[in-house]
Amino acid sequence: MEDEKTLKTMPRLDESLLTHIPPFSKLGLTEIREILDQASSRRYGEGVAVFSEGGDADRFFMLLDGYIRVIRITETGEQVISLHIPSGQLFGIARALGRDTYPATAVTASEAIILSWPTSLWDRFVIDYDGFSTETYKIVGKRVGEMNMRLVEMATQQVEQRVANALMRLINQTGRKVEDGIEVDFPITRQDLSEMTATTLHTVSRLLSGWEKQGLIKSRRKRIVVTNPHGLMLLSQQR
């Protein structure tokens, strides 16, 4: 559920914010203005649930800035991080999956600026706005492919490979260059990594400590810098 104490309504947004985002990039400024005028825009703090698994999918969302962590609960009650969504993407698009409830929980992994629309507008967006439908289903396909790849990793790879692959994905998708390497561009804990890789917290801590001694990473509170991306890639590919 959205925590109203952490939400702030944003001022009227400029059309230029959506002109380069794929679902809207084929549209003119007048059409983008129509879309923005029907949206709610809010700033969220870190760690806020935008919506919860199983909840009524009454809105869909566009992440303008920040990162979203997608969380699933297994049949045994364990929390698993399915993926991270970077800025410039739609999420909470249950209608595109033929669902009327959200299949997962979306939590802000950093401060975030998010647009949302009532799900009742979805079908009209698909019909009226060129490129909205095709780009949306590209996003769905990409995410399904990523989750399938992770299932294969969990079934076939050793723990060290899984954790290395998770870090490589994070720096490829969200990394930013810093003086001593590439930093994951949002706060991430060892517990987060354990939930991403179906690995115990103890094992993740042991691996990260070992990699730090080898000069592959630098780990500090909620921040991870990969100092040797090539070395980490070799670890992720070991057989």
The predicted-structure confidence for 57-109, as pLDDT tens digits, reads as follows 999 999 999 999 999 887 777 888 888 999 999 999 999 888 999 999 999 99
Please state, as a whole number, how many other Cβ atoms lie within 10 Å of the Cβ of residue 135.
18
The most confident of 106-110, 151-155, 191-195, by mean pLDDT: 106-110
pLDDT exceeds 60 at position 4 = no
User: Would you state the CATH architecture of domain 157-236?
Assistant: Orthogonal Bundle (1.10)
Check residue 79 and give its pLDDT. Answer: 84
For domain 4-143, give the fold: Jelly Rolls (2.60.120)
Average pLDDT over residues 42-70: 95
Instruction: Tell me the domain boundaries of the chain.
Output: 4-143, 157-236
Which amino acid does the sequence have at 156? T
The residue among 115 and 79 whose pLDDT is bigger is: 115
The predicted-structure confidence for 198-236, as pLDDT tens digits, reads as follows 889 999 999 999 999 999 999 988 899 999 999 999 988
Q: In what order do the strands lie in the sheet with 217-220?
A: 175-178, 181-184, 223-226, 217-220
